Structure 1
Amino acid sequence: MSEVEYTAVRELRGPLLLVDGVAGVGWDEFALVRTADGAPRHGLVLEVDRDLAVVQVLEGTSGLDPRRTRIAFTGSPLRIPVGPGWLGRTCNGRGEPVDGGPPVFAPDTADVAGAPVNPVRRTPPAEPVLTGVGAIDVLTTLVRGQKLPVFSAAGLPHLELAVQIAAQSSCGGEPFCVVFAGLGLTHAEALAVREGLGERAAAGELVLLLNTADDPVIERLLTPRIALTVAEHLAFTGGRHVLVVMGDMTAYAEALREVSASRGEIPARRAYPGYLYSDFASLYERCGRIRGRPGSVTVLPVLTMPAGDITHPVPDLTGYITEGQIVLAPAAHARGVYPPVDPLSSLSRLLRSGAGAGRTREDHPAVAAQLIAALARARQVRELADLVGQSALGPADRRHLDMEDAFLRDFVAQGQDENRPLDAALERAWQVLLHLPAAHLGMLPADLLRRRLRATGGPGPAAGPGAPPPGRAGPTGAEP
């Protein structure tokens, strides 16, 4: 570390500190800031213009006296220890333990900014990460190495869903762990996260980083980078499959906007900085699989859409970078359905890479496609019924409305602590589909549909639109 300490602090501007007379200082360099009482703070160099350096102070500049503040530059970017010592630990957004244990030590360190991966060494994502949430596992399957965001809105249970996914996810018996980065949480939310993930933490399968709303805004920009740096080492050196859950990314974007405004940068859409897209990409693109390296990093960002606007810059730019989205619907939430997933707005572009024979189940891709097609038809029928009334609908259209109700009631709805196996979720999907006449299940292979109808004692594939729905020998929603 450099022995030179600078004392010419020109100005304190929000979380930023401007230092005059510097030499040999580089962008993204780590700095130690000492206050008048000698207490250390930490900073990162955002910008260098000749002999002027702009340093963002991670703990904030509150209480600093420019005339009595000293800054020393380390000559290297911020690095953190990496290794399995992080597993089972709960830390704040800067990686400092808040669980009463000692600091995390490890023989290896890594730059929190990460290193670019040669594209030719990337392996296409394949094989699923099963979340235990039936609607996600069947319709928007999460694949190892994928980046799949959750789009939500204020008042929806996105944090509860993120905790449930982090608590239940697995990779079919292979080494697996979760890195959970909470951003801008209230203290009540942080406590709920710790309680909900306590069992996984006790098992040594969780790294928990919690940035609360009253923490310095700069820390919020650092938290996801620390989480991804820890995950990369656990995956590509430790051979684990790692799921990184990050939320709320809207709080991250707000922090980035605040720092940008402090720097006096020219704003872009909705006053966010023009580099919001590339900043998001620098986080989301750190997922994946690398040829010749064990393990994988899968990223599940969670974000709230202000006013439910999916064209807002945060969800809009996230959608350009990621491979689909899971959208939560206020209408389903109002009906008491948890998780309130909107299947027609949700999509996993890599579903077929992680589903099917040898990965999940042979009938999985066809069932998912048929269910989406049937729900799309049901939505059209629902809109028609609003115009002409249900009494004017034909028998097949009424069956589609029954199917849509059964979909929410018997397939989507599950408890927040219910870990639903994929086989059980697929059987529920079949029961929902068999509310329809066989003639309306044209996206299912004929032999697959014939075997299922034979097993349930229903009519054959040639059944007409008015035929009774097959496979309903038991109560609605009961598993065969």
Structure 2
Amino acid sequence: MTAIGEIEYTDVRELRGPLVVIGGVAGVGWDEFVRIDCDVGESGERRHGLVLEVNRDLAVVQVLEDTSGMDPERVRVSFAGAPLRVPVGPGWLGRVCNGRGEPVDGGPPVFGPTSAAVGGSPINPVRREPPGDPVLTGVGVVDALTTLVRGQKLPVFSAAGLPHLELATQIAAQSTVRGEPFSVVFAGMGLTHADATFIRDALEERSAAGELVLLLNTADDPVIERILAPRLALTVAEYLAYEEGRHALVVMTDMTAYAEALREVSAARGEVPARRAYPGYLYSDLASLYERCGRIRGRPGSVTVLPVLTMPANDITHPVPDLTGYITEGQIVLWHEAHAQGVYPPVDALSSLSRLMRKGAGPGRTRADHLDVAAQLLAALARARQVRELADLVGRSALSATDTRYLDLADRFLHHFMAQRMDEARPLDEALERAWQVLLTLPRSQLAMLPTELIDAHHSPEAKEQDG
């Protein structure tokens, strides 16, 4: 039913893809929520939309359910006078919904004690707290070398054929904040039905525990859902964090599918394309999502964002990873070479970086030796990569004994430290002890970045004899 005093418009000028152009409008604002009745009479279908653009008396509306089957002569449009809002609260936990927030788990609609605008609002810089303390993912190479920090935005850069979905799902399934209230909001965009089923099955235990919100948009769903899903996920997470006091991890995959949906809508609007036909506002649009993470002074919760994106043709200069890198605080890069050797997760440690790692790791947060071990291991891996390039030129037999030990370290790093089962939650202490075992492949003289007392505590008598 239309509210009393609400004006209905019937002057539909054009239906174009997911867009409706309506004429004769007045007093309509950008991002306003729209109700669209597709037939005359009580049995008519109702759809919904958002105002994308207003130009004089014309309004361009993107329809959330798409425009298929709509007859311009039998459409009535009314504007709500406010942005799209959704109910928020703990009622989302344990639910599985589509990209519009409609349940697909057979349960009732999601209700909450209040509602919030899906567009969100930026955190007041004066009240923003710097990120601090870790989110432990249970993935050893991530926790030890690229620690995820509460309030951080840390993307995963992947490519076709690499197990980024498996890694994202594993992180969502087993992440913890060591005893504090914790929730995961998982937004999947442009998924195949097989992928959607895999995600539901892999996260079933966390969902049953009431710690998970699952929003799944499949490739055959309306393209507008792909744009709405991450915003809805962040809106739900913000309430859980800042009102319920939880630490919320938002996993968004695949942001390349999101950007392609944005490009499709931009083309339907007839906008002038920018690099690779993406809209010129792609940077600001991605920033409007990524910057919604953080911590607020005086509030116990936090929102941490882990966006996952695939790089077309493994091109890190592609607009989506390129712009994402400017906005976020590091990256976890997946590596074809490790994947070809059957190693999971195939993380390229030397290309990966968590710029806020020192805020969330070290004494009082993880372990006193964490940062030293991570720095020494990365330095050793860099040297091992140089030695491998040299070995390709002159042969392994021409290498010095120390250089040969570096090659052994690289192999042991892949198969002893990094390799992990997809269902294994590896404690940080175990990951660091494995890192020590890898480092002790080298002579003591090569561990110059580690304090002497740490080396003495971990150096075995056998290793001492070998070094001597």
3-state secondary structure, aligned to 1:17: strand
Amino acid across the alignment from 2:20: L
Within a 5 Å distance, the mapping from 1:156-195 to structure 2 comes to: 156-195=162-201
Contact 2:134 2:147 in 1 (8 A): yes
Q: Which of 454, 457, 461 is residue 461 of structure 2 equivalent to?
A: 457
Amino acid across the alignment from 1:269: R
Q: Distance in 1 between matches of 2:150 and 2:6?
A: 45
Gaps of at least 5 residues in structure 2 are none
Q: CA deviation at 1:117?
A: 1.4
Contact 1:22 1:51 in 2 (8 A): yes
Contact 2:122 2:291 in 1 (8 A): no
Q: Which of 12, 16, 19 is residue 19 of structure 2 equivalent to?
A: 16
Q: What percentage of aligned pairs have identical amino acids?
A: 75
State whether structure 2 residue 376 is matched by structure 1 residue 370: yes
- Tell me the equivalent position of 2:28: 25
Amino acid across the alignment from 1:24: G
Contact 1:434 1:469 in 2 (8 A): no
Amino acid across the alignment from 1:468: Q
Contact 1:126 1:144 in 2 (8 A): yes
Q: CA deviation at 1:178?
A: 0.2
Q: Which of 387, 396, 403 is residue 390 of structure 1 equivalent to?
A: 396
Within a 5 Å distance, the mapping from 1:256-275 to structure 2 comes to: 256-275=262-281
Q: Distance in 2 between matches of 1:118 and 1:134?
A: 35
- Tell me the equivalent position of 1:155: 161
Normalising by structure 2, report the TM-score: 0.97
State whether structure 2 residue 9 is matched by structure 1 residue 6: yes
Within a 5 Å distance, the mapping from 1:459-478 to structure 2 comes to: 468=466
- Tell me the equivalent position of 1:133: 139
Relative distance call for 1:190 and 1:52 in structure 2 (3 A) is: same
Q: Distance in 2 between matches of 1:457 and 1:40?
A: 76
Gaps of at least 5 residues in structure 1 are 461-466, 471-480
Amino acid across the alignment from 2:303: V
State whether structure 2 residue 319 is matched by structure 1 residue 321: no
- Deviation per CA, 1:390-412, whole angstroms, max 9, x where unpaired? 11100000000000000000000
- Tell me the equivalent position of 1:476: none
Contact 1:367 1:444 in 2 (8 A): yes
Q: Which of 113, 116, 119 is residue 110 of structure 1 equivalent to?
A: 116
Contact 1:147 1:287 in 2 (8 A): yes
Q: Distance in 1 between matches of 2:463 and 2:147?
A: 31
Amino acid across the alignment from 2:231: R
Q: Distance in 2 between matches of 1:34 and 1:198?
A: 37
- Tell me the equivalent position of 1:237: 243
Q: Which of 444, 449, 459 is residue 438 of structure 1 equivalent to?
A: 444
Q: Distance in 1 between matches of 2:233 and 2:132?
A: 23
State whether structure 2 residue 386 is matched by structure 1 residue 380: yes
- Tell me the equivalent position of 2:349: 343
- Tell me the equivalent position of 1:248: 254
Amino acid across the alignment from 1:86: W
Contact 1:60 1:216 in 2 (8 A): yes
- Deviation per CA, 1:266-296, whole angstroms, max 9, x where unpaired? 1111000000000000000000000011200
Q: Distance in 1 between matches of 2:439 and 2:111?
A: 53
Contact 1:435 1:469 in 2 (8 A): no
3-state secondary structure, aligned to 1:409: helix
Within a 5 Å distance, the mapping from 1:394-413 to structure 2 comes to: 394-413=400-419
Q: Distance in 1 between matches of 2:322 and 2:121?
A: 26
3-state secondary structure, aligned to 1:3: coil
Q: Distance in 1 between matches of 2:206 and 2:448?
A: 43
Amino acid across the alignment from 1:33: I
Q: CA deviation at 1:468?
A: 2.9
Amino acid across the alignment from 2:105: D
Q: CA deviation at 1:346?
A: 0.3
Q: CA deviation at 1:107?
A: 2.2
Q: Distance in 1 between matches of 2:296 and 2:348?
A: 33
Contact 2:159 2:313 in 1 (8 A): yes
Relative distance call for 1:431 and 1:459 in structure 2 (3 A) is: closer
- Tell me the equivalent position of 2:77: 71
Contact 1:266 1:273 in 2 (8 A): yes
Q: Distance in 1 between matches of 2:321 and 2:462?
A: 44
Q: Which of 126, 139, 145 is residue 120 of structure 1 equivalent to?
A: 126
Within a 5 Å distance, the mapping from 1:301-320 to structure 2 comes to: 301-320=307-326
3-state secondary structure, aligned to 1:145: coil
Q: CA deviation at 1:320?
A: 0.3
State whether structure 2 residue 358 is matched by structure 1 residue 355: no
- Deviation per CA, 1:190-246, whole angstroms, max 9, x where unpaired? 000000000000000000000000001011100000000000000000000000000
State whether structure 2 residue 295 is matched by structure 1 residue 285: no
- Deviation per CA, 1:369-421, whole angstroms, max 9, x where unpaired? 00000000000000000111111100000000000000000000000000000
Q: CA deviation at 1:116?
A: 1.8
Q: Distance in 1 between matches of 2:452 and 2:283?
A: 45
> Matched residue pairs, number?
462
Contact 2:440 2:463 in 1 (8 A): no
- Tell me the equivalent position of 1:212: 218
Q: CA deviation at 1:445?
A: 1.4
- Tell me the equivalent position of 2:58: 52
Q: CA deviation at 1:153?
A: 0.2
Q: Distance in 2 between matches of 1:293 and 1:451?
A: 40
Contact 2:409 2:439 in 1 (8 A): yes
3-state secondary structure, aligned to 2:207: helix
Contact 1:248 1:303 in 2 (8 A): yes
3-state secondary structure, aligned to 2:54: strand
3-state secondary structure, aligned to 1:468: helix
3-state secondary structure, aligned to 2:466: coil
Contact 1:20 1:52 in 2 (8 A): yes
Q: Distance in 1 between matches of 2:124 and 2:179?
A: 29
3-state secondary structure, aligned to 1:101: coil
Q: CA deviation at 1:459?
A: 5.4
Comparing 20-29 and 35-44, the one that deviates more: 35-44
- Tell me the equivalent position of 1:425: 431
- Deviation per CA, 1:349-371, whole angstroms, max 9, x where unpaired? 01111111110000000000000
